[in-house]
Structure 1
Amino acid sequence: MKNPLVMACLSTIFLSVSSFAQQADREVQAYRPLYHFSPLKGWIGDPDGLVKHDGKYHLFWWGHATSTDLVHWQELSRPMKEGMGFSYFSGSVAIDKANTSGFGKNSMIAIYTKHFAGDSLPEAQAISVSGDQGMSFEYYKENPVLSINKFFFRDPQVFWHKKDKLWKMVVSRPDVQEIQFYQSPDLKNWKYCSSFKALGAKNSFWECPDLFELSIEGTKEKKWVLLIGRGPNRVQYFVGDFDGKSFHSDQTMIDYLQSGKGIAGVVFDDFENPAYPKWKNEGLAFAENKEMADYLGKGYASSPSVKNAKGNLISVPFTINHKAINFLIAGGNHPDTTCINLVVEGEIVRSTTGDNCKVFKWNGWDVSSLIGKKAHLEIVDQSTDSTKGFIAVDHIMFSNQLTNQQLEHALWLDYGPDYYATRTWRNYDEHDSLKDTVIAIGWMGNWDYARKVPTTWGKGFHSIPRVMSLRKTLTGLRVVQQPISQLQSLRRNGFSAQNLKIRDIQEIKGFKPERNTYEMEVAFTPVSANVFGFNLLVGEGRKLSIRYNPALGDLTIDRTNCTDFNTDESFTQVFAKKYTVPLTLKDGRLNLHIFIDRSSIEIFANDGEMVCSASTFPSDKQLGVQAVSENGTTLLDLKAWQLESIWK
């Protein structure tokens, strides 16, 4: 007979040895994050089924992990029934507290997309039921519960709407950029309510929607927020009202997104007048418009992709009296032949071409050194390329803030290249003090290179959880994000310094990380420097560069020479890039809250008004931390901590 006490002791020993082995494995596996969640092995993509129930946070990716603090996680066995002939695509989990479904009180219902390989059958929404807190799910025999006979129909987010006493589903038709809303009394029978489309960044797939209420800072008000993943790597959002059936964006947000109302600067031309009164039209290229996406207002200047249809638009002269000229541009990537030029005294001093697509994106020039000079603009199409030989320009603005992020005009949740498929936790614990706190997490990946990342332990990891709220601005309500405070439990070996005078490149002598798992709270005060920031992950001839230009309100993250994984040229071509974010000083200071975790960086700027997340993949020997102040002095306040592994 087995002795229960002996068996319990052996079980504890085996668990301890297993935990120690997992920790040791994670320590030695190159690039593996130590305080971001990643599964022990295999692929992780979109976060799914985020619920809190009976004091536990659940995280699914159709794997399963739980936590009591959103920091330390226990990975459990995979809960879904295997061998079903389809893939479990993204979805959500509902806790049926009132047994509306008939599956049992407090049953856990997973709602997900059934996806068939090779798009052989239409996607549909299905459910599986758990009576053991998500340890295992049983497939519902009457599936699917919702099908519209479309090949792309995915990523349901389901929640209980108290006012209507009905379940609501937010689900995407990604290929036509449409979000649909459904409702159900029992999670099994769904009725179509409405759809949302034609706003924000409308190109590429719309995926992984979420809808929830957020508090407005400093008030007792709340508004509804709709998140939409725009493939391959970004999340846009909309603020408005939800009446239980339809979501409607605030009018101030609509005006900003559709016509650019509220953008700081002076509009030189938005091309609403198709006669181009501010321009001299030379040649035939600009005789008709080419169909474009994501422009502002009702018009834009463009040339059709017709071979040998050459021409130029020459603007009226003007005096440069702002630091930047910003514009939306699309078209062929042909320097000199499909481009917009700035001409001063007969010489082309700035020029930008398209990126071989029909989608308008923000670009801009620093013209601070040209203030006071007479100039004019030229929009040029001298290309003979029959497919990509066109150029399109919209909303040319003179401004004192450079807008050069090369993204569509939208409200982005994160400006970095690696933050996607954001979802929020639904809290089913009625008496929880954090009941009204909205916490989100995203996949730190990018479909441009997700399958090429240099990891041997698996693919993918998730961001640190973020607390979300709304902040009032001159152009309407904006989402702000803060790292969860529970991460402070990982801090050790704290370092603090104030009013450090930084000139050129200086090592932070009092803070030398033992490994690239650390946190920094910094405040820069410009004195006389043109540009300031950090070099992080310094070593072996590589670094991650962060630079801020206070004159232009322009933050740049440069990872062109960051990773030590340089053997795959196809990976390097899409990974090794710079990313630019428009950002103004707050009370004359730049505040950054930075998290480094072996293969990633997350930057929260100005109390969460801007977030930038990126994967990095440096070697474990790239431990240098340098402050930078170019051509002058910058004052730096710094707090820094080494962060412990969550897997001990």
Structure 2
Amino acid sequence: MKPITLKTVLLLTTAHFSLAQPTLKPEEYRPRYHFTPPKNWINDPNGTIYFNGEYHLFYQHNPFGNEWGHMSWGHATSKDLLRWQHLPLAIPEFTSADGKSQTAIFSGSTVIDKTNQSGLCPAGTKDCMVAIYTGNVTAGDKQTAQYQNLAYSADKGRTWTQYAKNPVLDLGTKEFRDPNVFWYAPGKKWLMAVIKPTDHQAVFYESQNLKDWKLLSLFGPMGDTTRVWECPALFAVPVEGSSAKKWVLTVSSGHRQKNYLAMQYFVGDFDGKTFTAQKQDEVLYVDEGKDFYAGIPFNDRPANQVKPIMIGWLNDWEYANKIPTMPFKGAMSVPRELSLRNTPQGYRLVQTPVSLQAIRRKVTTMTNVSVSKATPVSYAGESYELEADITLGSAQKVGIRLLKSGAEESVLTYDIPTQTLAFDRTHSGNVSFSDRFSSIESVKVAPQNGYLRLHLLVDKSIVEIFANGGQQVMTDLVFPTKHDGKIELFSEGGATVFSALTVWEVK
């Protein structure tokens, strides 16, 4: 959760409405199968949890406008992580009893206290839902404190009560936020990972009752420290092809090489007190695109769900207030299942989107298509899923032009000699709202047995790219001004065979 002063919000709002607002078309960029609020601003996912057949998504939300401000928790639920029911505002910002300060509800998590051991919910409550969040306190336009608060619900998150003795964890600082809490079964205790942003440290605490917290250890600085750290998550992840699990710590921060915000991760071991990262020779990033941030896994999950499931915010703070969408601003990724792959370079995170089978229909299938020039796919649309297996031959480059309308296009290119996958949105449509938006992002992707496998989720203004089974991922926003939605295959320097390509339209 990135704090912004009230003065900054007002300046951004004024600039946005004076420059961009007249050109916006309502719902033009509303994705079909990525979560968005009915209206107004959202950012970080919060309090993600599975409970009694429902996935809960809480999220940073401004109930009063389409810019950052008045941070509160919005709320939605889903049975399948694809179709969401919007619920009333869950936890609103509030004013102090003396009226002199305002507490915004910054990022945090939720847990289920199954026996109401904390005593927070009324006597007789079997399952008490508890939110642990950062209270960001301001007086006028001056930020004065950040500390960790509790709120609780006895009705599955529909209504909430603030804990009367908040805060439960206060270091007396203005930079201490984003608690991620989970039940650690081996130690029969609650564990919290929380961030000291400017110190580039994750701090770990334990508790028996969610109200009293004891310091365990600190992690960091390590890895990428080019920006402040935010939104930690610590969780166990299965290793592909074995029964083993390793612990993963994710932190939202910056991207050292590309100079924008990103998420990094560390793989290691956790003994109930200390997280020890394994040696890594490079900084590991969750997503190599510009628009995936603050991702966190769902607490708890169905008994048959082995892999953790993460959902992230699709936007970038460098232009978040300026993106040309209305009446909403901000979206969430399609939830991703996580595993680890043991590679010669060490453990690497693998991400695959949850299955869209329930909401899609197959419209185009192509096999063994030799491509030596621009070759159209017999499908046009702006919300679809695409899978392609590409046999890499003697060509120099191969790729797919997405959301193509004349010269307007978003281009995914694989440079075969350098094994580089790049996404070019410089001609994708509206790129003028920010000088930081137009970009070409790239990542190294080694072929697998002479193949490149691509899995694309395209949804109006969102492109999620999963390469080689999700070992490399890029996510970027695009804002086409034309809407032909054509798809075109191409190859340069020789022919390339698309051995299989399937497009599913998403309902």
TM-score interval, normalised by the smaller of the two chains = 0.7 to 0.9
| Match of residue 99 from structure 2 | none
Q: How far is 1:150 from its partner?
A: 1.2
Q: Is 2:279 the counterpart of 1:413?
A: no
Decide which of 82, 85, 94 is 1:71's aligned counterpart: 82
Shift of 1:491: 1.6
- Contact 1:520 1:638 (C-alpha < 8 Å) held by counterparts: no
In structure 1, distance between residues paired with 2:77 and 2:482: 29
After superposition, the Cα gap between the structure-2 partners of 1:638 and 1:617, relative to the gap in structure 1 and judged at 3 Å, is farther
Code of the residue aligned with 1:410 in structure 2: it is V
For 2:104 and 2:184, the matched residues in 1 are separated by 29
Deviations 1:485-539 (A, max 9, x none): 2x1112214311111010121112xx312x3001111011122211111111111
In structure 2, give the amino acid aligned to 1:99: N
The correspondence for 1:423, drawn from 290, 293, 296, is: 296
Verify the 8 A CA contact 2:365 2:503 in the aligned structure 1.
Answer: no
Which residues in structure 2 correspond to 1:546-585 (within 5 Å)? 546-564=412-430, 566=432, 568=433, 571=434, 573-585=435-447
Find the aligned partners of 2:494 and 2:93 in 1 and give their Cα distance. Answer: 62
What amino acid is aligned across from residue 321 of structure 2 in structure 1? R
Aligned residues: 453
TM-score scaled by length of structure 2: 0.87
Task: For structure 2, list consecutive stretches of 5 or more residues without a partner in the other structure.
Answer: 1-24, 60-72, 96-101, 255-259
Q: Which of 153, 166, 185 is the aligned partner of 1:143?
A: 166
Deviates more, 1:97-106 or 1:212-221: 97-106
Residue 56 of structure 1, aligned match among 54, 57, 62:
54
Q: Is the 8 A contact 1:172 1:207 kept in 2?
A: yes
Report the counterpart of residue 181 of structure 1 in structure 2.
204
Amino acid at match of 1:563: G
Alignment of 1:127-526 (within 5 A): 127-231=150-254, 233-250=261-278, 254=279, 256-257=280-281, 409-427=282-300, 432-434=303-305, 436-485=306-355, 487-508=356-377, 511-513=378-380, 515-526=381-392
- Distance in 2 (CA, whole Å) between partners of 1:199 and 1:243 is 19
* Structure with greater strand share of residues: 2
- Counterpart residue type for residue 127 of structure 2: N
Residue 249 of structure 1: how far off its partner (Å) = 0.8
Highest Rg: 1 or 2?
1
Partners of 2:34 and 2:238 lie apart in 1 by: 27
2:112 counterpart (74, 84, 95): 95
1:538-579 CA distance string (max 9 Å, x none): 11421111111111111111111102354x3xx1x1011111
Measure the CA separation in 1 of the matches of 2:429 and 2:481: 7
* CA distance, structure 1, for counterparts of residue 359 and residue 56 of structure 2: 21
| Unpaired segments ≥5 residues, structure 1 | 1-26, 258-408
Structure 1 window deviating more from structure 2 (97-106 vs 37-46): it is: 97-106
Q: What's the secondary structure of 1:204's corresponding residue?
A: coil
2:7 counterpart residue number: none
Q: Which residue of 2 aligns with 1:541?
A: 407
1:151: Cα distance to partner? 0.8
After superposition, the C-alpha distances for 1:468-487 in whole angstroms (9 at most, x for unaligned) are: 001100111111011112x1
Counterpart-to-counterpart distance in 2, 1:127 and 1:585: 48
Distance 1:428 1:411, change over 3 A: closer
Selected match of 1:613 from 475, 478, 489: 475
The residue that corresponds to 1:314 in the other structure is: none
Aligned partner of residue 70 in structure 1, secondary structure: coil
Alpha-carbon distance, 1:99 to partner? 1.8
CA distance in 1, matches of 2:183, 2:308: 15
Q: CA deviation at 1:583?
A: 1.0
1:39-50 alignment runs, 5 A limit = 39-50=37-48
Q: CA deviation at 1:467?
A: 0.4
Indicate which of 140, 148, 151 corresponds to 1:125: 148
Check if 1:588 corresponds to 2:458: no
**Deviation of the 1:638 alpha carbon:** 3.5
> Conserved in 2, the CA contact under 8 Å of 1:533 and 1:548?
yes
Partner of 1:531: 397
Match of 1:105 in 2: 126
Question: How many Å separate the matches in 2 of 1:537 and 1:233?
Answer: 25
Q: Which amino acid aligns with 2:350?
A: V
Superposed CA RMSD in Å reads 1.5
Alpha-carbon shift at residue 121 of structure 1 (Å): 1.4
Identity %: 38
Question: Which secondary structure state, in structure 2, belongs to the residue aligned with residue 560 of structure 1?
Answer: coil
Quick one: which amino acid aligns to residue 483 of structure 1?
A: P
Question: In structure 2, how many angstroms separate the alpha carbons of the residues matched to 1:523 and 1:619?
Answer: 30
1:417 Cα deviation after fit: 0.5
* Inter-partner Cα distance in structure 2 for 1:133 and 1:594: 35
Q: Work out whether residues 504 and 631 of structure 1, in 8 Å CA contact, stay in contact via their aligned partners in 2.
A: no
Question: How many angstroms apart in 1 are the aligned matches of 2:430 and 2:201?
Answer: 40
On the 8 A contact 1:172/1:180 being kept in 2, the answer is yes
Per-residue CA deviations over 1:327-385 (Å, capped at 9, x if unaligned) read xxxxxxxxxxxxxxxxxxxxxxxxxxxxxxxxxxxxxxxxxxxxxxxxxxxxxxxxxxx
**Partner Cα distance (2:109, 2:236) in 1:** 17
How far off its partner does 1:116 sit? 2.2
Counterpart residue number, 1:86: 103
Aligned equivalents of 2:320 and 2:500: distance in 1? 34
User: Take 1:527 and 1:488, find their aligned partners in 2: how far apart are those partners?
Assistant: 32
Cα distance per residue 1:93-124 (max 9 Å; x no partner):
01001222012431100000011235531200
| Contact preservation (8 Å) 1:237, 1:412 | yes
1:273-294: CA deviations, max 9, x gaps? xxxxxxxxxxxxxxxxxxxxxx
Deviation digits for residues 433-491 of structure 1 (CA, Å, limit 9, x no counterpart): 22x32100100110010011001212100000000001100111111011112x11122
Tell me the CA shift for residue 43 of structure 1: 1.0
CA distance in 2, matches of 1:512, 1:221: 43
- 1:443 alignment partner AA: W
For residue 9 of structure 2, what is the aligned residue in structure 1?
A: none
* TM-score, length-scaled by structure 1: 0.68
